[in-house]
Amino acid sequence: MSQIREIKDRMNGIQSTMKITKAMYMISSTKMNTAKQKAANTDPYFYSLRKQILTILQNLPDHFEHPYLDSREYIDEKHQNKAIICVTGDKGLAGAYNLNVLKLTEQIIKAHPNYKLYIIGEVGRQYFLRRHIPVEESFLYTAQNPTLSRARSISSKMLELYAEKTIDEVLIIYTRMDQHNQFTVDVEQLLPLYRLNHEVEVGGQTIHSIQLEPSPTELLNIVIPDYLSGFIYSALVESYASENFARMQAMDSANKNGEELLNSLSLQYNRQRQAKITQEITEVAAGAKARRQQLQKKKRSQSTCK
């Protein structure tokens, strides 16, 4: 009896958990679609902005210098300070989403000891704090609510540090989804921007030579901060969509495993019930047989006395 009750309790517990995982699946699906819609709404603007950046870089005069194009080659690579922006989620239950980003970040940190680590997402902050890896700054409330204003805040911080030569290079590590709905971890260099010395095609259209007005320096001062904000915003939205897609996969896998476990426990439960019913029938039959034998023995005893 206790074993049947234990199996029933386990089944009830699994069913309760599956209600949560199914709800999380639906919520993650909605959030992922919202993030993808955000990306689709802003892509045309940032796509055009990227094209303009490439056009400007392609048409810069020879020996042109600008702080955003300064590759700091006069500083030995071993002594260059790298700013690493790591984009994680604010919570787990998303499969390997957070782990993939964190492991790649650790590899880059080991390869470049002169680094400043900037974290987006509570999971990443807790992960590096537990390992006593110094975190320069955490951008709170950004992973679950990627907005252009937050992206501008991060990009302005990076531009300020780069202009002050506190950092010599800016990298961002984030997760994006490909055309086959598979998420991969990407590393992109945001600063410095390198000049393009060859023709670049964007959308099948070749960039032609143009005259830069009012001046290349003023154009870069205006366009590059917007481009940087746009790229960071795009990375945040891509990461947010990837996180929810990963959580959808994790919850779907949990639901399938729960169904399999319920089927197995249901089979055990039915077998235990059948065994219990059989045992009860056997006990009743044995009791009835013993009672009949007792009555027959009593009758024989009475007959002998007469």
Mind listing the pLDDT tens digit for each residue in 205-222? 545 567 666 777 787 888
pLDDT digits (tens, 9 = 90+) for 30-68: 988 888 888 788 778 777 777 777 877 777 777 778 778
Tens digit of pLDDT for each residue in 174-216?
998 877 777 889 998 888 886 443 444 444 454 556 766 677 7
- Position 59 scores a pLDDT of 76
- Mean pLDDT for 234-239 is 90
* pLDDT for residue 306: 58
Give yes or no for residue 128 having a pLDDT over 50.
yes
For the chain, the domains span 2-15+257-301, 26-248
- What are residue 80's phi and psi, to 5 degrees? -75, 135
pLDDT single digits (tens) 255-275: 999 999 999 988 888 888 888
What global pTM score does this model have? 0.80
d(CA 229, CA 109): 24
pLDDT at 20: 92
CATH 3.40.1380.10 for the 26-248 domain, yes or no: yes
Contact 236, 174 (CB under 8 A): yes
Beta bridge partners of 189: 171
**Mean of pLDDT over the chain:** 83
Q: How far apart are the first and last CA of the chain?
A: 49
3-state secondary structure at position 211 = coil
Following CA atoms 21, 246, 26, 149 in sequence, which dihedral angle do they give, to the nearest 10 degrees?
130
Q: Given a cut of 70, is residue 254 above it in pLDDT?
A: yes
Ranges 52-56, 147-151, 236-240: which has the least confidence: 52-56
Whether the pLDDT of residue 75 is over 80: the answer is no
Residue 74's pLDDT is: 67
Q: What is the mean pLDDT of residues 144-150?
A: 88
Determine the distance from the C-alpha atom of residue 217 to the mean position of all C-alpha atoms in its chain, rounded to a whole number: 38
The confidence score (pLDDT) of residue 198 equals 40
What is the arithmetic mean of pLDDT over 79-84? 88
Portion of the chain with pLDDT greater than 70, in percent = 90
Instruction: Please provide the size of the chain in residues.
Output: 306
The answer to whether 255 and 103 are in contact (CB under 8 A) is no
What is the average per-residue pLDDT within 20-28? 91
